[in-house]
A and B are shown apart, each in its own frame.
Chain A
Amino acid sequence: MSEPLLVLDNVTKNYGAIEALKGISFSIGRGEVVALLGDNGAGKSTLVKIISGGLEPTSGRMLFEGKEFLARSPAEAKAAGIETVYQDLSLCTNVDVVANFFMGREITRKVLGIPVLDERAMEAVVEKALASAGTRIPSLRTNVEHLSGGQRQAIELNRFVHWGGKLVLLDEPFAALGVEQTRRGLDMIRQVASQGIGVVIITHIMQQAFQVADRIVVIRQGVVAGDVARNKTSPDAVINMITGETLAGAGPAG
């Protein structure tokens, strides 16, 4: 593989005396899907927040596209091309679907030099994006508070597919989805990766990880307990890495 997209080098995070991350090192390539697995409290979400600008690491460094990288805010991470879908949904339920889809990136046109929201253009884009993903939402103008959990998650997923970027972080994106929607979600991930975008997906469901990932990284108690190519391991081996019974099959891939 050529130069990796994102390299984490001994990243740590302390909350007071508690070491949430004790030194994480791994890398993600372009167009690669990495499944990040680990038990509750292993530090997966903390790691995602550090990459996406929600938290600053205590020590360690990151290289993004070969350059030193540290996002001090989600806006900086976004500007660098990192999109994140969080576990607790990041939607404003008090506004409609279109407003949520474009949150912070609204299409505007100038009227007398003042930026004015171009609602019609935005609605057309959302309609197209949702239709191509096969998501049905009765009206794009209904407030999100009136939509079901699955519909809300679908909006988030379609949002990252649409905006793309260079690296996508998904923190348990399928928690509220049905069987059919999950299958479509996994397809979306492969489709995004085939465009050369790196994907990190956190999941608890082994089957999903093996369906979609190229590589599986296991985190246990704040360190990388395993980093293996999918086709060189098995669900049982991964479960052992997660629970820490053995370290069989551990070690960097390739």
Chain B
Amino acid sequence: MNPRTRHGLEFVLDNLVWFMLLFVLVVFSIFIPNYFQLGIFANIIEASSVLGVMSIGLALVIIAGHMDLSVESVAALSAMAVGILFCSSGIGLGVQLHPEWLMVPVSLLLALAVGGLIGAFNGYLVVRVKMSAFIITLASYIWVRGLVLVISGGRSAQDLAPAIRWFGIQRLAGLPLTAWIAIACFVVFSLIMAKTPFGRHLVMIGGNETATFRAGIRVNRNLIIAFVLAGAIAGLAGWLLAIRTSGATANLGVGLLFNAFAAVVIGGVSLKGGVGTLPGVYAGVLLLSAINTAINLMGLPANFTQVIHGLLVLAAVLLDAFKQTIRQRLA
């Protein structure tokens, strides 16, 4: 095989999920009436912002060789905290700050802090007490959701303060600001992972934790930071979720975890750790969103989405194994 075809093939393998996304969009545009519109594409991006942000945090921890099942519940708790404080009806307290814009940084910081704290708790138990991340974050997944039920009493908060809601309404180049926030997160965290020592160390820890420890990298510190980041990013996802639904319900975001997992795996992140990039994860998120939109447009019952997502995850894992074999032949 000459180097050029080899290079080309490697490029395709590295960016396979983007090609899949392109393929799916072309197929849908040809076969589904009304799919090929700017409005539809904008909608695909818009609908994927909450899931996208949540997937970033999950991907960071998985790339570092661990797991965070709590992101969905953390997002719900952050959304509920923002909802209770800044909603004016339901269980909302309707807290008013002057000037009004002050509510934006305050609610955002609150959401990030709630998420970051739970992330720090998870990280501490996993790294210092050396318990399995799967079990610790599974426990958090359950108790944090329980906490949402407790503080809301099972009821909901509606009518989020307009100053915060503005981010979901104001549009820039056809997309609401919330979608731009998600895109900005992907850009920033992609750069962190690819260009900074911290990102490089996370990838190497995911690949061979012993080696990085021996090389003098502060493995524990880096891992705790990864968990805190995953929590804080999930908090941001909750903030976006509260804006999107203009409030919070006790079962807000149920099922997002599995979609985030699907997006991360489809995006080429290996559950074994050390492999995967954030742009790939974003493509995975967009792919899921594109398929959801297609299901809606075709008028299929929404219940089909779950079946299709499950099959997609399966396909992604099979594809990953297939990619491995091809790479071994290339090497």
Question: Which residues of A come within 8 Å of B, CB atoms?
Answer: 52, 54, 73-75, 78-79, 84, 86, 89-95, 99, 103-106, 108, 114-117, 142, 145-146
B211 CB-CB contact with A under 8 Å? yes
Given contact pairs A117-B200, A146-B331, A95 touches B216 in the complex (Cβ within 8 A) = no
B305 CB-CB contact with A under 8 Å? no
**A99 cross-chain contacts in B, Cβ below 8 A:** 200, 204
Are A92 and B211 in touch, CB under 8 angstroms? yes
Are B195 and A116 in touch, CB under 8 angstroms? yes
B171 CB-CB contact with A under 8 Å? no
Q: How far is the CA of A89 from the CA of B204 in the complex (A)?
A: 14
**A115 cross-chain contacts in B, Cβ below 8 A:** 196-197
Q: How far is the CA of A54 from the CA of B216 in the complex (A)?
A: 10
Are A92 and B204 in touch, CB under 8 angstroms? yes
**B83 cross-chain contacts in A, Cβ below 8 A:** none
Are B216 and A92 in touch, CB under 8 angstroms? no
Are A74 and B213 in touch, CB under 8 angstroms? yes
A-B contact pairs, 30 of them (CB 8 A): A73-B213, A74-B213, A74-B215, A74-B216, A78-B215, A79-B216, A84-B214, A90-B210, A92-B203, A92-B208, A93-B207, A94-B206, A94-B207, A94-B275, A95-B204, A95-B207, A99-B204, A103-B211, A103-B212, A103-B215, A104-B201, A104-B212, A104-B217, A105-B215, A106-B197, A106-B200, A108-B197, A115-B196, A116-B195, A117-B197
Are B196 and A74 in touch, CB under 8 angstroms? no
Q: How far is the CA of A103 from the CA of B208 in the complex (A)?
A: 11
Given contact pairs A94-B203, A95-B200, A117-B196, A75 touches B216 in the complex (Cβ within 8 A) = yes
B166 CB to nearest chain A CB (Å): 28
B303 CB to nearest chain A CB (Å): 39
Within 8 A of A (CB), among B271-313: 274-275
**B204 cross-chain contacts in A, Cβ below 8 A:** 92, 94-95, 99, 103
Are A104 and B216 in touch, CB under 8 angstroms? yes
B223 CB to nearest chain A CB (Å): 15
Q: How far is the CA of A95 from the CA of B205 in the complex (A)?
A: 11
**A78 cross-chain contacts in B, Cβ below 8 A:** 215-216
Are A104 and B215 in touch, CB under 8 angstroms? yes
Given contact pairs A91-B211, A95-B203, A75 touches B197 in the complex (Cβ within 8 A) = no
B12 CB to nearest chain A CB (Å): 17
Q: How far is the CA of A89 from the CA of B197 in the complex (A)?
A: 22
What are the 8 tightest A-B residue pairs by CB atom distance, in nearest-first order?
A: A94-B207, A75-B216, A146-B331, A92-B207, A94-B274, A90-B211, A103-B215, A104-B215
Are A54 and B212 in touch, CB under 8 angstroms? no
Which range contains the number of B residues in contact with the other chain? 20 to 34
> Nearest chain-A residue to B192 (Cβ)?
A114
**A84 cross-chain contacts in B, Cβ below 8 A:** 214
Q: How far is the CA of A128 from the CA of B330 in the complex (A)?
A: 27
Given contact pairs A92-B207, A94-B203, A95-B207, A75 touches B196 in the complex (Cβ within 8 A) = no
Q: How far is the CA of A115 from the CA of B195 in the complex (A)?
A: 9
B90 CB to nearest chain A CB (Å): 42
Name the one of A73, A90, A146 contacting B208, with C-beta atoms under 8 angstroms.
A90
B316 CB to nearest chain A CB (Å): 19
B219 CB to nearest chain A CB (Å): 10
A253 CB to nearest chain B CB (Å): 31
Name the one of B203, B218, B274, B275 contacting A75, with C-beta atoms under 8 angstroms.
B218
Q: How far is the CA of A54 from the CA of B214 in the complex (A)?
A: 7
Name the one of A92, A117, A145, A146 contacting B212, with C-beta atoms under 8 angstroms.
A92
> Nearest chain-A residue to B10 (Cβ)?
A142
**B195 cross-chain contacts in A, Cβ below 8 A:** 116-117
B3 CB to nearest chain A CB (Å): 10
**B203 cross-chain contacts in A, Cβ below 8 A:** 92, 94-95
B38 CB to nearest chain A CB (Å): 34
Most buried by B among A90, A106, A108, A146: A90
**A92 cross-chain contacts in B, Cβ below 8 A:** 203-204, 207-208, 211-212, 274
> Nearest chain-A residue to B275 (Cβ)?
A94
Q: How far is the CA of A47 from the CA of B208 in the complex (A)?
A: 23
**B201 cross-chain contacts in A, Cβ below 8 A:** 104
B72 CB to nearest chain A CB (Å): 28
Q: How far is the CA of A52 from the CA of B274 in the complex (A)?
A: 26
> Nearest chain-B residue to A85 (Cβ)?
B214
**A117 cross-chain contacts in B, Cβ below 8 A:** 195-197, 200
> Nearest chain-A residue to B201 (Cβ)?
A104
B123 CB to nearest chain A CB (Å): 19
Are B217 and A103 in touch, CB under 8 angstroms? yes
**B217 cross-chain contacts in A, Cβ below 8 A:** 75, 103-104
Q: How far is the CA of A32 from the CA of B213 in the complex (A)?
A: 28
8 extra A-B contacts, CB within 8 A, seeds A94-B203, A103-B211: A74-B214, A74-B215, A75-B218, A79-B216, A89-B211, A90-B210, A94-B208, A95-B274
Q: How far is the CA of A103 from the CA of B218 in the complex (A)?
A: 11
Name the one of B208, B274, B327 contacting A91, with C-beta atoms under 8 angstroms.
B208
> Nearest chain-A residue to B199 (Cβ)?
A117
> Nearest chain-A residue to B216 (Cβ)?
A75
A117 CB to nearest chain B CB (Å): 6
**B196 cross-chain contacts in A, Cβ below 8 A:** 108, 114-117
**B197 cross-chain contacts in A, Cβ below 8 A:** 106, 108, 115, 117
Given contact pairs A95-B207, A117-B195, A90 touches B200 in the complex (Cβ within 8 A) = no
